[in-house]
Protein backbone atom coordinates (compact mmCIF):
# COMPACT_ATOMS: atom_id res chain seq x y z
CA UNK A 1 0.00 0.00 0.00
CA UNK A 2 1.07 3.60 -0.61
CA UNK A 3 2.96 5.04 2.35
CA UNK A 4 1.88 8.30 3.95
CA UNK A 5 5.55 9.27 4.10
CA UNK A 6 6.43 8.48 0.50
CA UNK A 7 7.06 11.34 -1.99
CA UNK A 8 4.50 12.52 -4.53
CA UNK A 9 4.55 14.70 -7.63
CA UNK A 10 1.66 17.18 -7.44
CA UNK A 11 1.28 18.64 -10.94
CA UNK A 12 5.06 19.05 -11.15
CA UNK A 13 5.52 20.17 -7.53
CA UNK A 14 7.70 17.65 -5.68
CA UNK A 15 6.24 16.78 -2.27
CA UNK A 16 8.51 14.85 0.14
CA UNK A 17 5.52 13.15 1.76
CA UNK A 18 1.75 12.84 1.39
CA UNK A 19 0.86 14.78 4.55
CA UNK A 20 -1.07 18.00 3.86
CA UNK A 21 -1.64 20.70 6.45
CA UNK A 22 -5.32 21.55 6.06
CA UNK A 23 -6.51 25.17 5.97
CA UNK A 24 -7.53 26.38 9.43
CA UNK A 25 -8.80 29.78 10.53
CA UNK A 26 -6.46 31.28 13.14
CA UNK A 27 -7.47 35.02 13.06
CA UNK A 28 -3.98 36.38 13.73
CA UNK A 29 -3.75 38.88 10.84
CA UNK A 30 -2.97 42.53 11.49
CA UNK A 31 -5.26 45.45 10.68
CA UNK A 32 -5.94 45.76 6.99
CA UNK A 33 -5.79 41.99 6.51
CA UNK A 34 -1.98 41.94 6.61
CA UNK A 35 0.11 38.85 7.30
CA UNK A 36 2.50 39.19 10.25
CA UNK A 37 5.93 37.96 11.37
CA UNK A 38 4.19 35.58 13.78
CA UNK A 39 2.29 34.08 10.86
CA UNK A 40 5.59 33.59 9.04
CA UNK A 41 6.97 31.73 12.04
CA UNK A 42 3.81 29.64 12.44
CA UNK A 43 3.82 28.36 8.87
CA UNK A 44 7.61 27.92 8.75
CA UNK A 45 7.42 25.71 11.86
CA UNK A 46 5.17 23.34 9.89
CA UNK A 47 7.13 23.34 6.62
CA UNK A 48 7.91 19.60 6.83
CA UNK A 49 4.35 18.96 5.59
CA UNK A 50 4.27 17.74 2.03
CA UNK A 51 2.01 20.71 1.33
CA UNK A 52 0.65 23.52 3.50
CA UNK A 53 -2.72 25.04 2.62
CA UNK A 54 -3.04 28.40 4.36
CA UNK A 55 -5.92 29.67 6.42
CA UNK A 56 -8.77 31.16 4.42
CA UNK A 57 -7.75 34.39 2.67
CA UNK A 58 -10.45 36.76 1.42
CA UNK A 59 -10.17 37.55 -2.32
CA UNK A 60 -11.88 40.93 -1.89
CA UNK A 61 -13.21 43.17 0.87
CA UNK A 62 -16.82 41.94 0.79
CA UNK A 63 -15.58 38.34 0.90
CA UNK A 64 -14.20 38.64 4.44
CA UNK A 65 -16.06 36.41 6.86
CA UNK A 66 -14.36 36.77 10.24
CA UNK A 67 -12.43 39.58 11.93
CA UNK A 68 -8.67 39.13 12.00
CA UNK A 69 -8.40 37.19 8.76
CA UNK A 70 -5.87 38.03 6.04
CA UNK A 71 -6.56 39.19 2.49
CA UNK A 72 -5.04 39.04 -0.99
CA UNK A 73 -6.69 42.01 -2.68
CA UNK A 74 -4.33 44.93 -1.97
CA UNK A 75 -0.68 45.54 -2.76
CA UNK A 76 0.05 45.87 0.97
CA UNK A 77 -1.44 42.45 1.65
CA UNK A 78 0.62 40.89 -1.14
CA UNK A 79 3.80 42.42 0.27
CA UNK A 80 2.98 41.21 3.79
CA UNK A 81 2.54 37.61 2.61
CA UNK A 82 6.05 37.46 1.10
CA UNK A 83 7.60 37.08 4.56
CA UNK A 84 5.38 34.00 5.06
CA UNK A 85 6.07 32.30 1.75
CA UNK A 86 9.79 33.05 1.98
CA UNK A 87 9.98 31.58 5.48
CA UNK A 88 8.19 28.41 4.36
CA UNK A 89 10.43 28.02 1.31
CA UNK A 90 13.62 28.67 3.29
CA UNK A 91 12.53 25.85 5.59
CA UNK A 92 12.03 23.56 2.60
CA UNK A 93 8.24 23.73 2.41
CA UNK A 94 5.53 24.32 -0.17
CA UNK A 95 2.42 26.46 0.45
CA UNK A 96 -0.87 27.14 -1.34
CA UNK A 97 -3.15 30.02 -0.31
CA UNK A 98 -6.75 29.09 0.36
CA UNK A 99 -9.02 31.68 -1.26
CA UNK A 100 -12.15 31.97 0.87
CA UNK A 101 -15.09 34.23 0.01
CA UNK A 102 -17.59 34.16 2.88
CA UNK A 103 -20.59 35.29 0.86
CA UNK A 104 -23.55 35.52 3.24
CA UNK A 105 -21.41 34.26 6.15
CA UNK A 106 -20.27 37.74 7.13
CA UNK A 107 -21.44 40.91 8.87
CA UNK A 108 -21.26 44.67 8.17
CA UNK A 109 -19.59 45.22 11.55
CA UNK A 110 -16.65 43.17 10.28
CA UNK A 111 -16.29 44.49 6.75
CA UNK A 112 -18.20 47.78 6.62
CA UNK A 113 -20.06 46.23 3.69
CA UNK A 114 -23.33 44.34 3.46
CA UNK A 115 -22.77 40.62 2.78
CA UNK A 116 -23.66 39.26 -0.65
CA UNK A 117 -25.03 35.90 -1.71
CA UNK A 118 -26.82 34.03 -4.45
CA UNK A 119 -30.26 34.68 -2.90
CA UNK A 120 -31.89 36.61 -0.07
CA UNK A 121 -31.54 33.78 2.46
CA UNK A 122 -29.73 34.44 5.74
CA UNK A 123 -27.32 31.89 7.13
CA UNK A 124 -28.17 29.83 10.21
CA UNK A 125 -26.41 30.72 13.44
CA UNK A 126 -24.19 33.58 14.56
CA UNK A 127 -21.06 34.85 12.86
CA UNK A 128 -18.07 36.35 14.67
CA UNK A 129 -17.80 40.14 14.61
CA UNK A 130 -15.46 42.61 16.36
CA UNK A 131 -18.02 42.96 19.16
CA UNK A 132 -18.88 39.29 19.51
CA UNK A 133 -21.16 36.77 17.77
CA UNK A 134 -24.14 38.22 15.90
CA UNK A 135 -26.85 36.78 13.63
CA UNK A 136 -26.03 36.95 9.94
CA UNK A 137 -28.13 39.50 8.04
CA UNK A 138 -30.06 38.62 4.91
CA UNK A 139 -27.46 39.05 2.15
CA UNK A 140 -27.79 41.39 -0.80
CA UNK A 141 -28.57 39.31 -3.88
CA UNK A 142 -25.85 39.39 -6.53
CA UNK A 143 -27.02 40.32 -10.01
CA UNK A 144 -26.02 38.00 -12.84
CA UNK A 145 -23.22 40.36 -13.79
CA UNK A 146 -22.06 40.67 -10.20
CA UNK A 147 -22.07 36.90 -9.75
CA UNK A 148 -19.68 36.59 -12.69
CA UNK A 149 -17.51 39.32 -11.16
CA UNK A 150 -17.36 37.53 -7.82
CA UNK A 151 -16.40 34.29 -9.59
CA UNK A 152 -13.61 36.23 -11.31
CA UNK A 153 -12.35 37.58 -7.97
CA UNK A 154 -10.71 34.22 -7.25
CA UNK A 155 -8.58 34.53 -10.37
CA UNK A 156 -7.41 38.01 -9.46
CA UNK A 157 -6.56 36.85 -5.94
CA UNK A 158 -4.75 33.89 -7.50
CA UNK A 159 -2.54 36.27 -9.47
CA UNK A 160 -1.77 38.18 -6.29
CA UNK A 161 -1.02 34.93 -4.45
CA UNK A 162 1.58 33.93 -7.04
CA UNK A 163 3.05 37.45 -6.83
CA UNK A 164 3.27 36.97 -3.05
CA UNK A 165 5.28 33.77 -3.52
CA UNK A 166 2.65 31.10 -3.00
CA UNK A 167 3.11 27.88 -4.95
CA UNK A 168 -0.57 27.87 -5.85
CA UNK A 169 -4.08 28.42 -4.52
CA UNK A 170 -6.97 26.35 -3.24
CA UNK A 171 -10.47 27.74 -3.84
CA UNK A 172 -12.66 27.24 -0.78
CA UNK A 173 -15.71 25.59 -2.30
CA UNK A 174 -16.82 23.99 0.97
CA UNK A 175 -18.39 24.59 4.38
CA UNK A 176 -21.24 26.90 3.41
CA UNK A 177 -19.16 29.77 2.01
CA UNK A 178 -19.85 31.50 -1.31
CA UNK A 179 -19.03 28.73 -3.80
CA UNK A 180 -20.88 26.26 -1.57
CA UNK A 181 -23.83 28.66 -1.40
CA UNK A 182 -24.17 28.60 -5.18
CA UNK A 183 -24.06 24.78 -5.12
CA UNK A 184 -26.78 24.68 -2.45
CA UNK A 185 -30.41 23.90 -3.30
CA UNK A 186 -31.79 25.76 -0.25
CA UNK A 187 -29.56 28.85 -0.42
CA UNK A 188 -29.39 29.28 -4.19
CA UNK A 189 -32.96 30.08 -5.27
CA UNK A 190 -31.96 31.91 -8.44
CA UNK A 191 -33.73 31.62 -11.78
CA UNK A 192 -30.89 32.94 -13.96
CA UNK A 193 -27.92 31.04 -15.42
CA UNK A 194 -26.49 30.48 -11.93
CA UNK A 195 -29.52 28.77 -10.36
CA UNK A 196 -32.12 26.08 -10.70
CA UNK A 197 -30.70 23.02 -12.46
CA UNK A 198 -27.57 21.20 -11.39
CA UNK A 199 -25.88 22.51 -14.53
CA UNK A 200 -26.61 26.06 -13.44
CA UNK A 201 -25.81 25.57 -9.76
CA UNK A 202 -22.31 24.28 -10.52
CA UNK A 203 -21.64 27.13 -12.96
CA UNK A 204 -20.25 29.57 -10.37
CA UNK A 205 -17.74 26.99 -9.07
CA UNK A 206 -16.67 26.02 -12.57
CA UNK A 207 -16.23 29.64 -13.65
CA UNK A 208 -14.21 30.42 -10.52
CA UNK A 209 -11.87 27.49 -11.15
CA UNK A 210 -11.66 28.12 -14.91
CA UNK A 211 -10.78 31.76 -14.37
CA UNK A 212 -8.09 30.87 -11.86
CA UNK A 213 -6.66 28.21 -14.18
CA UNK A 214 -6.51 30.79 -16.97
CA UNK A 215 -4.83 33.29 -14.64
CA UNK A 216 -2.14 31.17 -12.98
CA UNK A 217 -2.28 27.71 -14.57
CA UNK A 218 -3.98 24.44 -13.74
CA UNK A 219 -0.92 23.13 -11.87
CA UNK A 220 -1.29 25.97 -9.35
CA UNK A 221 -5.05 25.56 -8.80
CA UNK A 222 -7.02 23.29 -6.47
CA UNK A 223 -10.48 23.37 -4.88
CA UNK A 224 -11.89 22.13 -1.57
CA UNK A 225 -15.39 20.61 -1.43
CA UNK A 226 -17.70 19.34 1.33
CA UNK A 227 -20.37 17.14 -0.32
CA UNK A 228 -23.46 16.61 1.79
CA UNK A 229 -22.45 19.15 4.44
CA UNK A 230 -24.87 21.46 6.23
CA UNK A 231 -22.55 24.21 7.47
CA UNK A 232 -24.36 27.51 8.20
CA UNK A 233 -27.60 25.86 7.08
CA UNK A 234 -26.54 25.31 3.45
CA UNK A 235 -27.53 21.92 2.00
CA UNK A 236 -26.74 20.74 -1.50
CA UNK A 237 -29.43 18.13 -2.25
CA UNK A 238 -28.96 15.46 -4.96
CA UNK A 239 -25.46 15.26 -3.59
CA UNK A 240 -24.05 12.46 -5.74
CA UNK A 241 -25.52 13.85 -8.96
CA UNK A 242 -24.45 17.40 -8.12
CA UNK A 243 -20.85 16.56 -7.30
CA UNK A 244 -20.48 14.02 -10.08
CA UNK A 245 -21.52 16.72 -12.54
CA UNK A 246 -19.18 19.24 -10.91
CA UNK A 247 -16.22 16.86 -10.99
CA UNK A 248 -16.87 16.08 -14.65
CA UNK A 249 -16.68 19.78 -15.52
CA UNK A 250 -13.64 20.36 -13.32
CA UNK A 251 -11.84 17.40 -14.90
CA UNK A 252 -11.80 19.21 -18.25
CA UNK A 253 -9.84 22.03 -16.57
CA UNK A 254 -7.26 19.60 -15.09
CA UNK A 255 -6.64 21.38 -11.76
CA UNK A 256 -3.84 20.13 -9.52
CA UNK A 257 -6.27 18.48 -7.13
CA UNK A 258 -9.62 18.40 -5.43
CA UNK A 259 -9.68 18.37 -1.63
CA UNK A 260 -12.64 16.44 -0.20
CA UNK A 261 -13.94 16.63 3.36
CA UNK A 262 -15.56 13.62 5.00
CA UNK A 263 -18.94 15.32 5.19
CA UNK A 264 -20.93 12.55 3.49
CA UNK A 265 -21.42 8.83 3.84
CA UNK A 266 -18.40 6.72 3.04
CA UNK A 267 -20.08 5.08 0.05
CA UNK A 268 -20.76 8.46 -1.57
CA UNK A 269 -17.19 9.64 -0.98
CA UNK A 270 -15.89 6.46 -2.61
CA UNK A 271 -18.13 7.11 -5.61
CA UNK A 272 -16.63 10.59 -5.94
CA UNK A 273 -13.12 9.12 -5.70
CA UNK A 274 -13.97 6.86 -8.63
CA UNK A 275 -15.51 9.76 -10.56
CA UNK A 276 -12.46 12.00 -10.17
CA UNK A 277 -9.61 11.18 -12.58
CA UNK A 278 -7.02 13.43 -10.94
CA UNK A 279 -5.27 13.85 -7.61
CA UNK A 280 -7.41 13.64 -4.49
CA UNK A 281 -6.53 15.18 -1.14
CA UNK A 282 -8.75 13.55 1.46
CA UNK A 283 -9.61 15.04 4.83
CA UNK A 284 -10.80 11.77 6.45
CA UNK A 285 -12.75 13.22 9.40
CA UNK A 286 -15.50 15.80 9.80
CA UNK A 287 -13.93 19.27 10.16
CA UNK A 288 -14.20 20.47 13.79
CA UNK A 289 -15.94 17.20 14.67
CA UNK A 290 -15.13 15.03 17.68
CA UNK A 291 -12.41 13.05 15.89
CA UNK A 292 -9.02 14.18 14.60
CA UNK A 293 -7.26 12.68 11.61
CA UNK A 294 -4.76 10.03 12.74
CA UNK A 295 -2.44 7.54 11.05
CA UNK A 296 -5.10 4.84 10.97
CA UNK A 297 -7.73 6.76 9.00
CA UNK A 298 -5.01 8.35 6.86
CA UNK A 299 -3.73 4.92 5.84
CA UNK A 300 -7.29 3.75 5.24
CA UNK A 301 -7.97 6.51 2.72
CA UNK A 302 -4.63 5.98 1.01
CA UNK A 303 -5.81 2.41 0.54
CA UNK A 304 -9.08 3.71 -0.94
CA UNK A 305 -7.22 5.69 -3.58
CA UNK A 306 -6.53 9.13 -2.12
CA UNK A 307 -3.08 10.39 -3.06
CA UNK A 308 -2.71 12.89 -0.21
CA UNK A 309 -4.17 13.17 3.30
CA UNK A 310 -4.89 16.45 5.09
CA UNK A 311 -4.52 16.89 8.84
CA UNK A 312 -6.14 19.84 10.61
CA UNK A 313 -6.06 20.34 14.37
CA UNK A 314 -3.16 17.91 14.83
CA UNK A 315 -0.96 20.39 12.96
CA UNK A 316 -1.92 23.24 15.30
CA UNK A 317 -0.51 21.58 18.41
CA UNK A 318 2.19 19.50 16.69
CA UNK A 319 4.37 21.63 14.41
CA UNK A 320 6.54 18.52 13.88
CA UNK A 321 3.55 16.34 13.00
CA UNK A 322 5.31 14.61 10.10
CA UNK A 323 8.12 13.44 12.37
CA UNK A 324 5.62 12.34 15.02
CA UNK A 325 3.81 10.25 12.39
CA UNK A 326 7.11 8.84 11.13
CA UNK A 327 8.36 7.85 14.59
CA UNK A 328 4.92 6.94 16.02
CA UNK A 329 5.26 9.58 18.72
CA UNK A 330 2.33 10.93 20.79
CA UNK A 331 0.09 13.55 19.16
CA UNK A 332 -0.42 16.47 21.54
CA UNK A 333 -3.99 17.79 21.99
CA UNK A 334 -5.08 21.29 21.00
CA UNK A 335 -5.89 23.92 23.60
CA UNK A 336 -9.29 24.85 22.19
CA UNK A 337 -9.49 28.00 24.34
CA UNK A 338 -6.62 29.60 22.40
CA UNK A 339 -7.72 28.76 18.86
CA UNK A 340 -9.16 32.16 18.00
CA UNK A 341 -8.04 34.43 20.83
CA UNK A 342 -5.24 36.15 18.89
CA UNK A 343 -1.64 36.63 19.98
CA UNK A 344 1.13 34.05 20.06
CA UNK A 345 -0.24 31.96 22.94
CA UNK A 346 -1.66 28.78 21.46
CA UNK A 347 -0.11 29.79 18.14
CA UNK A 348 3.67 29.74 18.48
CA UNK A 349 3.82 28.10 21.90
CA UNK A 350 3.46 24.46 20.79
CA UNK A 351 6.83 22.70 20.71
CA UNK A 352 8.39 19.83 18.83
CA UNK A 353 8.53 16.50 20.63
CA UNK A 354 11.30 16.13 23.18
CA UNK A 355 12.82 12.67 23.53
CA UNK A 356 13.50 11.65 27.16
CA UNK A 357 17.23 12.28 26.82
CA UNK A 358 16.59 15.78 25.49
CA UNK A 359 14.02 16.59 28.18
CA UNK A 360 16.39 15.46 30.93
CA UNK A 361 19.40 17.35 29.61
CA UNK A 362 20.74 20.02 31.95
CA UNK A 363 22.80 22.91 30.55
CA UNK A 364 26.43 22.92 31.68
CA UNK A 365 27.32 26.00 33.71
CA UNK A 366 29.88 28.30 32.17
Is 43 designated active site? no
pLDDT at 2: 84
pLDDT at 361: 41
pLDDT at 320: 97
Q: In the CATH hierarchy, which fold is given to the domain comprising 8-360?
A: TIM Barrel (3.20.20)
pLDDT at 358: 46
In this structure, are residues 39 and 95 in contact, taking their beta carbons and an 8 Å threshold? Answer: no
| pLDDT tens for the 366 residues of the chain, in order | 689 999 999 999 999 999 999 999 999 999 999 999 999 999 999 999 999 999 999 999 999 999 999 999 999 999 999 999 999 999 999 999 999 999 999 999 999 999 999 999 999 999 999 999 999 999 999 999 999 999 999 999 999 999 999 999 999 999 999 999 999 999 999 999 999 999 999 999 999 999 999 999 999 999 999 999 999 999 998 999 999 999 999 999 999 999 999 999 999 999 999 999 999 999 998 776 667 788 889 999 999 999 999 999 999 999 999 999 999 999 999 998 998 889 999 999 998 887 554 444 434 333
From 147, 173, 277, select the one nearest 229 (Cα to Cα): 173
- pLDDT tens-digit map of 198-217: 999 999 999 999 999 999 99
- Which residue among the candidates 42, 177, 347, 350 is catalytic per the annotation? 177
pLDDT at 363: 43
Contacts (Cβ under 8 Å, ≥6 apart) of 81: 35, 70, 72, 97, 161, 164, 165, 166
pTM beyond 0.75, yes or no: yes
What values do phi and psi take at 300, rounded to 5? Answer: -60, -45
- pLDDT tens-digit map of 308-344: 999 999 999 999 999 999 999 999 999 989 988 899 9
- Cα gap 62→116, rounded to integer Å: 7
Domains of the chain: which residue ranges? 8-360
Amino acid sequence: MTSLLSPFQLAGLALPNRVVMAPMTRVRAAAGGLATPSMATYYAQRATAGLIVSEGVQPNAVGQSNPGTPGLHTDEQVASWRQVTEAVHINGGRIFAQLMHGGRVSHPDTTGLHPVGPSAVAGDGDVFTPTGPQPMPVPRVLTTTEAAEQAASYAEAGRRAVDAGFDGVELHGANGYLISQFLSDNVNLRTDRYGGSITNRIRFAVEAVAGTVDAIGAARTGIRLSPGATFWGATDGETLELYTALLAELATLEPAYIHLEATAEDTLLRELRRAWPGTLIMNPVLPMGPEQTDRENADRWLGLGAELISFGRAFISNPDLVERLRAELPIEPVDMATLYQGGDDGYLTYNAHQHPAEAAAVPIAA
